[in-house]
């Protein structure tokens, strides 16, 4: 399926390889708090070393404006040394005499990590002269930074004009897995889509309305769909400019459901609070079904507030009925693509790891991991979704957790990835 050459297609023995990895990992006070992306680069690194290469690794971290010590890749070099159980030399530069000298002394099996590429403004500018300097360090370029292949930077685009360029094993795996889930999934196929703006997910929503059997929408994006249906979302975050877009998508989904067995689900109930804070008092508002309010207030009639937001309240999560509805649908599906959390799961909890606005996301996670019975093959993509999964140390339990938020979204939307397109074809 993968149409580009990979490290398996070339002779590596004795060659100096420049590997573009994605080591944009969270670092606090010089300590890496999540090394998932580093671990995902190890199969390619070990393959290159096992085949007699000299290995130079380059990457970026964060969005620095010039040199920023807090975004140095030195902690990555230390962690890589532990994971590989072999020396990893670090150079506090990515081009220049110091780097050239370090490379000249390398032997087969040696590993050298360069400093943050984005300390040089030429990286983001896709500067050809800078790319030529990087290329001058090696004989072959290997692109394995899936998290950046949707961008045209010097280390994803311009460099491929100066060196024979092939894909690493991670990029191959990411592209194959996501493409398979989109175009040849084991059915039924379900998509769970969150995020803030419909415009950002328009292509992926349209794609899944066409291909999936069940689409569930959560996150702030769901607020826009609710508003488009006439629900007063009060002080909630929603995209006023996309109300017509939301109506068009709902109409298209309705037409699709008339043609075949298809469900497009937006929340029936929501969790609201007056502020995004771990101490905020929460309540459930039932927008369509009033089961919980009936039970809680029986034998009295439920008050009007049970189905309406107050003016100063915000929708911050899907409610338990909506989460259970999604969880039930998961039991019937064989492939699930999950891109976007259901609420605001990064808000810390007072009683444990599950915050006040993370219960919807947690219910979805439990269903995806088979805790309710059936476990589908799940592809997890999107920065906030992957971040949540990694923070809970659950990444190894899913079928595939993508290392690239924007890149996975672009691929799911059917767009080409410039950093992949620039590689040598088979």
- pLDDT at residue 299, as a whole number: 93
Distance CA 222, CA 341 (A): 11
Q: How far is CA 64 from CA 71, 118, 124, 157, 387, in A?
A: 7, 6, 11, 20, 21
Domain 185-412, CATH: 3.40.50.1260
Q: What is the pLDDT of residues 109-144, one digit of tens each?
A: 999 999 999 999 999 999 999 999 999 999 999 999
Distance CA 283, CA 319 (A): 9
Distance CA 336, CA 94 (A): 40
Contact 193, 380 (CB under 8 A): no
User: Which among 388, 290, 392, 380 is positioned nearest to 336, based on CA atoms?
Assistant: 380
Distance CA 138, CA 19 (A): 9
pTM for this prediction = 0.91
For the chain, what is the largest distance between any 2 Cα atoms, rounded to a whole number of angstroms? 83
Strand pairing class (283-286; 269-273): antiparallel
- pLDDT at residue 222, as a whole number: 96
Q: What is the pLDDT of residues 406-415, one digit of tens each?
A: 899 899 888 9
Burial of 107 (0-12, 13-18, 19+ CB in 10 A): exposed
Contact 54, 106 (CB under 8 A): yes
Our CA angle for 143, 148, 150, nearest 5°, is 105
Reduced to 3 states (helix: H, G, I; strand: E, B; else coil), residue 108 is: coil
Contact 340, 385 (CB under 8 A): yes
Distance CA 413, CA 422 (A): 19
Strand pairing class (111-114; 140-143): unpaired
Distance CA 115, CA 213 (A): 46
Q: Could you list the active site residues?
A: 37, 197, 383, 406
Distance CA 403, CA 38 (A): 10
Token pair in block for residue 76? 């990555």
Helices (H), 85-120: 97-104
Which residue is it, tokens 């971290």? Answer: 61
Our CA angle for 20, 24, 29, nearest 5°, is 135
Whether 7-170 shares its CATH topology with 185-412 is answered yes
Ranges of each domain in the chain:
7-170, 185-412
Distance CA 339, CA 193 (A): 5
**CA 52 remoteness from chain centre:** 33
- DSSP sequence for 215-236: EEE-HHHHHHHHHHTT---TT-
Distance CA 28, CA 22 (A): 18
Element (H, E) at 18: strand 16-20
Token pair in block for residue 34? 């999540």
Residue 405, Cβ neighbours under 10 Å: how many?
18
Fold of 7-170: Rossmann fold (3.40.50)
Residue 261, Cβ neighbours under 10 Å: how many?
9
Distance CA 361, CA 349 (A): 14
Q: Which residues of the chain have pLDDT under 50?
A: none
Distance CA 243, CA 239 (A): 7
């Amino acid at each position: 399926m993968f149409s580009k050459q990979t490290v398996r297609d070339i002779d590596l023995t004795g060659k100096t390889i420049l590997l573009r990895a994605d080591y944009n990992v969270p670092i606090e006070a010089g300590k890496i708090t999540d090394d998932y992306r580093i671990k995902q680069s190890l199969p390619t690194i070990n393959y290159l070393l096992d085949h007699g290469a000299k290995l130079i690794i380059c990457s970026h971290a964060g969005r620095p404006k010039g040199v920023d010590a807090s975004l140095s890749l030195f902690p990555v070099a230390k962690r890589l040394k532990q994971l590989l159980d072999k020396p990893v030399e670090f150079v506090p530069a990515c081009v220049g005499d110091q780097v050239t000298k370090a490379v000249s002394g390398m032997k087969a099996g040696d590993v050298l990590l360069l400093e943050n590429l984005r300390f040089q403004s030429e990286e983001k500018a896709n500067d050809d002269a800078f790319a030529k300097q990087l290329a001058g360090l090696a004989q072959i370029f290997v692109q394995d930074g899936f998290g950046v292949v949707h961008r045209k930077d010097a280390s994803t685009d311009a460099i491929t004009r100066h060196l024979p360029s092939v894909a690493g094993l991670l990029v191959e795996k990411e592209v194959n897995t996501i493409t398979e889930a989109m175009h040849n999934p084991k059915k039924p196929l379900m998509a769970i889509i969150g995020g803030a703006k419909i415009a950002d997910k328009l292509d992926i929503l349209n794609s899944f309305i066409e291909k999936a059997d069940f689409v569930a929408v959560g996150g702030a994006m769901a607020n826009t769909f609710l508003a488009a249906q006439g629900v007063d979302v009060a002080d909630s975050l929603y995209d006023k400019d996309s109300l017509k877009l939301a109506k068009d998508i709902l109409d298209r989904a309705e037409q699709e459901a008339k043609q075949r067995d298809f469900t497009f689900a937006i929340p029936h109930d929501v969790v609201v609070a007056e502020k995004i804070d771990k101490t905020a008092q929460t309540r459930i508002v039932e927008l369509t079904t009033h089961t919980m309010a009936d039970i809680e207030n029986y034998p009295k009639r439920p008050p009007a507030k049970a189905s309406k937001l107050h003016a100063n309240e915000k929708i911050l999560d899907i409610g338990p009925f909506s989460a259970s509805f999604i969880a039930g649908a998961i039991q019937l599906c064989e492939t699930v693509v999950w891109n976007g959390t259901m609420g605001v799961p990064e808000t810390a909890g007072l009683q444990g790891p599950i915050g006040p606005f993370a219960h919807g996301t947690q219910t979805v996670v439990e269903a995806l991991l088979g805790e309710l019975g059936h476990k589908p093959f799940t592809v997890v993509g999107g920065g906030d979704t992957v971040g949540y999964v990694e923070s809970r140390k659950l990444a190894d339990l899913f079928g595939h957790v993508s290392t690239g938020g924007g890149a996975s979204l672009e691929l799911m939307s059917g767009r080409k990835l410039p950093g992949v397109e620039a590689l040598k074809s088979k």
